[in-house]
Structure 1
Amino acid sequence: MGQTALARKAGISASLLSKIEVGDRALSQGVAASIAAALGCTLNELLGKASTEPANKEKLTELRGVIRRFDCPGDPPSGSEKIQAGLSDLFKLRGEANLGGVLNHLPNLLESATNYAHSVGTPDAWSSVADVYSGVYWLAARHRWMDLADLAVVRQRMAAERANPLTVAIASRDEAGTFLNGGDFATGLAVVDRAVTEAEGRLSGKARAFGLGILHLRGLTLAGRIMDKRVAARHQQEALRWADEIPQDVGDHGIHFGPENTATHVMATYVDMERYADAISTMEGIEREPITLPATRVGPLHMNAARAHLALGNREKALDSLSEAWEIAPQMARVHPHSQETLRVLTSLHRRSNRRLMALAKRAGIPH
């Protein structure tokens, strides 16, 4: 397929496709999804899986084995204390964007939590299982191991249905995330809409604000990827409304929600929708107060700031923001497509040597 034919089939200009190919423009997730559809593949297939360190392959094989044994439990632990401690450690590692640590931690915790839930059968026990599977989805999505992500959300939903409505809402959020990662944004939005309707009928109190809030944030991201201003505005308005019910960001089930995290999602969506000046303005507002969010949220925040600065032609500020992302969440920056794309374009556009840029490109494994 020639360049002109591919551009036409993807619904983009040949000029834009050419600039992306030679490194003059960054490939956005929305454009990438259109190109993937034109080529008959998924977004994650187009972007490619992140490489697995040799030391992690054994743990990944072990994790897959535990997932397969979901309905074949072994001997349960004597109590839930170690499981709860293990969940706390998992949430901490996830918050730090410590991908290697999460992978090392998951197999034993998942096996213990699953065996215990089969033994006692309580909603709290099954909620713990769903939380671990949410961690599996998070790890798999970061690396674009989408076969593992898809399997994780199926198991997560099975556990959540035996737990409580908030855990079901979180499972739906992660399910919509698999469509986000695969580039099927419209289906992801349908999953969110279905989950919102279900949550409105089942959740109450603080759980209602938290559950509906995280669902609308997922909807906001999905709508931004397809440039649907009306749907994005609706999800943004609803997310802000529920964030008002939570004065300060809170973490629950390994996920954060509140005014600060809502602002980071709004900023990211502005970048997706090419509202770069609005994104920078929102970023400046976020930075007026000390950021309390964990690295797993702050790292992508700076990646999105780098994308906005690059689109506005400010390469130095783009490099500053990208360097911040690498400083805060290096393991995530190494595999995240936003980080990789921004750095690819920066190295392509810099015609003269830039020691800081070259050092970052070397860390990322990008030729320069």
Structure 2
Amino acid sequence: MPDSNDAYIGARIAEQRRLAHLTQRGLAASAHVSHSLLSKVESGHRPASPALVAACARALGIESSVLAGQPFSGEQREDRFDAPVAAIRASLENWDIPLEDVTPPRPLQDIAVDVELVGDHRRSANYLKTALDAPRLIDELVESSHQGEGRHKERAHRLLAYTYRCVHDVAYNLGHIDLGSSILSRMGFSAERSGDPYMVVLTSYLRAQSCFNTGRHEVGLRLMSRALADVEEDARRGNRSALCVQGNLRLRSAMLAARSRPAGKSQADNARAQWNEAWDTAKLLKGDVQNYVMSFGPTNTRIHQVAIEVELGNYGSAVKASENLRFPDEFRGAYPDRVGHHYIDLSRAQLWTGDRSAAFASLREARSVAPQQTRYHPHVRETVHTLRRADRAQNESLSNYARWLGL
């Protein structure tokens, strides 16, 4: 099994296919992808799109993270993630039992300050700092939730649900999919007790994200449809929190539609229709809004316009859409995770339109903005693999970048 970092995704698909005793044609038929495309992906001559990876994983009865090679354990050990991730797992053991002989929790207003800092770490894609700080807050908030009633209990659960949201990003992006599922379960428990319907919607939003890994895009779309119905009335009244939530739900629906299999005109039309709805919502906000549940605005919507075209395999359209995107200074400072993710997507589009120098420049930009996100993103590794195979001169900067990734 090619579990080393030197194996590209196509090679892992080929290995898992052989372990399942399937021919290329057999897997292509089961995954509803063309045999020609699968052949090119396995040989490394075409990109392994997230939609194709999810379709093959589902046909093979495994998770997409297996084909992506996640989690990248060697790099995580080098970056000292082992102990913080273990602490997150330990913090999930208790969510419903008051403990005796523990240090009394601080007042909620003091805990809330630290929770906000964890949220800042999450938006900065600082996975290590998030993982280091969140477990003690989870323990403290669980205990606080048992020591009060009414609004105190609701606020404790609201802060707890948001903290779970932060560590879910760590687990998901590092490739600890099982841990992410456990976090979502705990988040759902607290969201239901938070007195905040938007926290419940946020849980559905993250649950739909896990559908990318399993390939159950139809489940994710149904979740988003149900959540949109829940916020429709408040959004119609112009409630800014509801509009932020509604816009993000539309964008997630667009990405789910873009990755649906079998891909075709209807999926593309649905993805773009969802994006258009999100754009209409963004225009109502008249700017980028940092909201306590989900931030939203025109810039993030433009980012997703590029990402959708990448997911649909329309790389030229993605590059063209990126020309309409300008990051305000305040956005770049507030949302490094979104800026970094954009450059990761853009690099894939530039690579497969033949502009290898621009693709590498985008990867360097992603690293400068959000280094941990970039290092642990499987499609960064896939792009670098492809760039190295095409680089006959063995560019030293590219080799150094590959070594930083752990390749």
* Band the TM-score falls in, shorter-chain normalisation: over 0.9
2:288 to 225, 249, 253: 249
Counterpart in 1 of 2:19? none
Per the alignment, in what secondary structure is the counterpart of residue 290 of structure 2? strand
Counterpart in 2 of 1:199? 231
Per the alignment, in what secondary structure is the counterpart of residue 325 of structure 1? helix
1:310 to 338, 345, 351: 351
Asked whether the 8 Å contact 1:213–1:243 carries over to 2, the reply is: yes
Counterpart in 1 of 2:272? 233
2:216 to 184, 208, 211: 184
Is 1:297 aligned with 2:344? no
Counterpart in 2 of 1:212? 246
What's the offset of the Cα at 1:254? Answer: 6.3
Distance change (3 Å), C-alpha of 1:148 and 1:318:
same
Per the alignment, in what secondary structure is the counterpart of residue 244 of structure 1? helix
Is 1:29 aligned with 2:68? no
Identity %: 29
Cα distance in structure 2, aligned partners of 1:77 and 1:291: 35
Distance change (3 Å), C-alpha of 1:342 and 1:14:
same
Distance change (3 Å), C-alpha of 1:109 and 1:288:
closer
Cα distance in structure 1, aligned partners of 2:46 and 2:247: 33
Residue deviations 1:81-124, cap 9 Å, x none? 33111112111111211111111111011111222223224332
Distance change (3 Å), C-alpha of 1:271 and 1:12:
same
Cα distance in structure 1, aligned partners of 2:306 and 2:271: 12
Cα distance in structure 1, aligned partners of 2:161 and 2:327: 36
| AA in 1 matched with 2:135 | P
Counterpart in 1 of 2:307? 268
What aligned pairs does 1:310-349 form with structure 2 within 5 A after superposition?
Answer: 310-349=351-390
Counterpart in 2 of 1:78? 106
Cα distance in structure 1, aligned partners of 2:67 and 2:45: 19
Counterpart in 2 of 1:134? 165
Q: Which 4+ stretches in 1 moved above 6 angstroms?
A: none
Cα distance in structure 1, aligned partners of 2:326 and 2:234: 36
Q: Which runs of 5+ in 2 are unaligned?
A: 1-21
Residue deviations 1:323-347, cap 9 Å, x none? 1111211111111122121111111
Cα distance in structure 2, aligned partners of 1:147 and 1:99: 17
Cα distance in structure 2, aligned partners of 1:211 and 1:96: 20
Is 1:16 aligned with 2:37? yes
Asked whether the 8 Å contact 2:245–2:293 carries over to 1, the reply is: no
Q: How many residues align?
A: 366
What aligned pairs does 1:98-137 form with structure 2 within 5 A after superposition?
Answer: 98-121=126-149, 122=151, 123-137=154-168
Larger mean CA deviation between 356-365 and 239-248 belongs to 239-248
2:204 to 157, 172, 184: 172
Is 1:63 aligned with 2:88? yes
Cα distance in structure 2, aligned partners of 1:24 and 1:255: 38
Cα distance in structure 2, aligned partners of 1:354 and 1:254: 44
> Normalising by the residue count of structure 1, what TM-score does the alignment of the two structures yield?
0.93
| AA in 2 matched with 1:131 | Y
> Normalising by the residue count of structure 2, what TM-score does the alignment of the two structures yield?
0.85
Residue deviations 1:301-360, cap 9 Å, x none? 001110111111111111111111112111111111221211111112222211111111
What's the offset of the Cα at 1:289? Answer: 5.1
CA RMSD of aligned residues (A): 1.9
What's the offset of the Cα at 1:201? Answer: 4.6
Larger mean CA deviation between 252-261 and 29-38 belongs to 252-261
What's the offset of the Cα at 1:202? Answer: 6.0
| AA in 2 matched with 1:64 | R
Is 1:148 aligned with 2:179? yes
Q: Which runs of 5+ in 1 are unaligned?
A: none
Asked whether the 8 Å contact 1:23–1:349 carries over to 2, the reply is: no
Cα distance in structure 1, aligned partners of 2:300 and 2:326: 12
Is 1:159 aligned with 2:190? yes
Distance change (3 Å), C-alpha of 1:180 and 1:265:
same
Distance change (3 Å), C-alpha of 1:277 and 1:112:
same
What's the offset of the Cα at 1:209? Answer: 0.4
Asked whether the 8 Å contact 1:240–1:259 carries over to 2, the reply is: yes
